[in-house]
Amino acid sequence: MLDATLANQIAAGEVIERPAAVVKELVENALDAGAKRIEIDLQDGGRRLMRVRDDGCGMGREDAGLSLQRHATSKLRRKDDLFAISSYGFRGEALPSMAAVSRFALLTCEPGALEGTRIEVEGGSMVRISGAGAPAGTTVEVRDLFWNVPARRKFLKKAQTEQAQCLDAVLRLALPRPEVTFVVREGDRTLAQLHAGADVLAARAEEALGREVRNRLVPFSGGSRSIRAHGLAVSPAIEYGSGRNVWLFVNGRAIRDRSLTHAVLRAYGELMPHGRYPGALVFLEVPPAELDVNVHPAKAEVRFADAKAAWDAIYEGLTHVLARGEWMPRRQGATDAVQPGRVYALGDPVERVAEAIERYGRQMPSTWWMPPAHAPSPRETQPDLVVRPPYFRGLRYLGQLHRTYLVCEGPQGLVLVDQHAAHERVNYQRLRGAAKAPAQPLLVPQVVQLAAAAAARVLEATDMLASIGVELDSFGANSAVVKALPHALARLDEAGLGALLTDLADELAAHGRGESLDRLRDALLARAACHGSIRAHDALAPAEAQALLDALDETDYGARCAHGRPVVAEWTEAEIERRFGRDYASHAHAAPPEAV
C-alpha cells in the first residue's frame, strides 16, 4: 500500500499541473466560501509563491484540519448531491495535493471568532497547527511548488508564461462572477484589478480578449427548453487565427467543448473568411440536475443531459443578433443599405490599394509560376519560375461581386479574383522580400494590451518575431510595446497591432518545438500578410481594383494566397455556353452574338 505522502504526490499530478492550476483551485474555494473580494499575489510567475486571500466564511480549527485530508469536503452532504452540483470544488483533493508538493500555509478565521487557525505543511508533512490572529476569511500560501518533486519542477515554463497562465485562470473565473472583485499582483505590480459591479462584463472581456474588442461587443441571449444562453459576441470585423477566443462557461464554470464551440462557428458562418475564427464569451445556465461535472479530473469538461438544447440555445441566440447587422461599421455619410450577413470591415481600402501601387508596382520581374496539379502552398516547395506575359493586368475589370470578388473578362472567359486573398498574396510576397531588410522603426512606439496568454507567447518569441521585422518588448502586465514593423504593416493602428500580435501568438502556439525555424518564419509571415490587406466586403473603385490586379502580376505565385486559398477562378467561354444550353462547337464560326 502506498504511503499517504506518496499517494498525495501522485494525486497532485492529476490536479496540480502548474501554478495556474493552484490559483484556479484556490480561487474556486474562495468563491464557494462566498467571498466578495479575492486577492492573488504571485512571485516568479507563481513558481516561488502563490497567495490567495479572500473575505469568505472561513473555517474553524476542526474544519481547517479536515480540509487537508484527502476526499474531505463540506460541499457534498449526501449521495444525491453529486447529481446536482452547484459548487466549484467537491472532491476534496486540491488542498492536500498542493500541500504534498509545496511549502504550504493556511490561515483562516470565521466571522466573529476571537481567534483564527494557522496550519503549516511541508512536502505533505504537518509542521505545526496553532491559533493565530486573522481577519474573517481564508489566506492560503503555496511556496516553492514541486520543490520536492524536481522531475515535475523542470517542466515549468518561464516566469512570464506561468504568470500569464495564472492571470488567464483568474479571468476565466472572474468573467461569470461580476459581483466579486478580483486583484492580481506580481510583487508590487498590479496585473489586473477587476472591480465588482452590474456592468463590468465588457471591461472584463477586454482583459480576456484584448483591447481591440472595445466597442465591438454585441450582447446576445437565447434559450432552448430548460437551457439559457447569453453573453457577448465579438464583431465579425475582428478575426482570429484560431478558435481559442471562444470562451465557454456552464453555470459559471469555464469548460472546453468542441460541439458548443462548433455552434458558435456555425452561427458566424460565412461572416468569417475561410480559415478565420470569431471571438465570443458564451454563458450557459443549465439546471444542475441536467449536468454532470464529474467527468474530468480538472473539471474542464461536462456532460449534458440534453446536449442538443445547449447547442441550439447558443446557435439561436447568436444568429439572432448577427443577422440584424446592427454591429456593422459604416462609413460616415455612406448611403448603401446594410444587408444582413455582410461585413463592412474597418479601414480605408483606397489608401491601402494606393500603397500597393507604390510598393509593389515595379519592384519584381514579371514572372508567373504555373502550379502543379496538387497546387501546394508556396511553403511546400520552391517554384520553378517561368517568365510569362503579364496575366492579371490584361484582364478587363467589370465590377465587384458582393464587394468580395473582382469580376473580370479574360481571354478565355469569366475570371473572378478574391480581393482579400489577392492582396494577402501581394503582402506576403512583400514581407518575404523585406524579411532580410531592416524593420522600419515607429516614430512613436505603440503600446498594445493583449490577452495574458497571447502576451506571454509573443514576448517569449521576440527574437523570432524580430526576424520577420516585428520588434517588440515587454511593457508590464500583459502589454507589449511595438518598436518597429515591416514597411507593409507600418500603418497599423493600436487595434490592428493588437489583432496582428494575437494572430502571431496563435501561430506560435500552433507550432511545435521541433518544427524548423524556416517553416515557422513562413507561417508567421503568412499570418502577418493578412493584416493590412483589403478585406472581404471592402468597396473598391475601378482604379483601386486595377491597381490590385497589376500588383498580382508582380508576385512569383499569384494563384494562391499565403494560406493556400485560391486567388483566382476562371470559367471558360465553353463552360458558360454549356450552362446556357448552347452548343459551343456549332456556334464557333457562327454570326456575331447579336445576330444569334
Grouping H, G, I as helix, E, B as strand and the rest as coil, residue 406 is strand
The answer to whether the beta carbons of residues 23 and 52 sit under 8 Å apart is: yes
Indicate the CATH number for domain 202-324: 3.30.230.10
Report d(CA 324, CA 202) in Å as an integer.
21
CA atoms within 13 A on the CB side of 269: 13
State the pLDDT at residue 80. Answer: 53
- Cell 502586465, located at residue: 477
47 with 19: CB under 8 angstroms? yes
Least confident of 23-32, 174-183, 281-290, 487-496: 487-496
Q: Which CATH superfamily is domain 4-197 in?
A: Histidine kinase-like ATPase, C-terminal domain (3.30.565.10)
Beta bridge partners of 140: 52, 106
Predicted TM-score (pTM) of the model is: 0.70
Mean pLDDT, residues 191-199: 92
pLDDT, tens digit (0-9, with 9 covering 90-100), for 124-137: 899 999 999 999 99
- Grid cell, residue 63, equals 474544519
Helix (H, G, I), strand (E, B) or coil at 318: helix
Distance CA 537, CA 347 (A): 11
* Cell (9 digits) for 177: 462572477
Encode pLDDT of 181-193 as tens digits.
999 999 988 989 9
pLDDT digits over 331-377, tens only?
A: 444 444 333 334 323 234 444 444 444 443 333 333 332 333 333 34
- Amino acid letter at 170? V
SS3 category, 60: coil
* pLDDT for the residue 512: 56
Confidence check: pLDDT of 384 > 50: no
d(CA 489, CA 484): 10
Amino acid code (one letter) for 352: R
**Angle between helices 159-174 and 19-32 in degrees, nearest 10:** 20
Helix, strand, coil proportions of the chain in percent (round to 5)?
Answer: 35, 25, 40
Helix, strand or coil for residue 416? strand
Q: How far is CA 491 from the centre of its chain?
A: 23
Q: For the domain 349-368+385-573, what is the CATH superfamily, name and number?
A: MutL, C-terminal domain, regulatory subdomain (3.30.1370.100)
pLDDT of residue 10: 59
What phi-psi label fits residue 481: left (phi over 0), alpha (psi between -120 and 50 degrees) or beta? Answer: beta
Q: Same topology for domains 4-197 and 349-368+385-573, yes or no?
A: no
Residue 497 CA neighbour count, 13 Å, CB half = 25
Name the pLDDT band for 475 (thresholds 50, 70, 90).
Answer: confident
Mean pLDDT across the stretch 253-273? 90
Stronger pLDDT, 232 or 450, i.e. the higher one: 232
Q: What is the pLDDT of residues 545-565, one digit of tens each?
A: 999 998 888 876 555 665 667
| Domain coordinates in residue numbering, the chain | 4-197, 202-324, 349-368+385-573
Q: What distances in angstroms separate CA 105 from CA 33, 35, 126, 348, 593, one per listed residue?
A: 18, 19, 10, 58, 89
Say what the pLDDT of residue 86 is. 60
Cell of residue 501, nine digits? 500580435
Of the two residues 37 and 160, the one the predictor is more confident about is 37
Q: What is the DSSP secondary structure assignment for residue 343, as one 8-state letter? A: -
How many helices and strands, by DSSP H and E, does the chain display?
17, 22
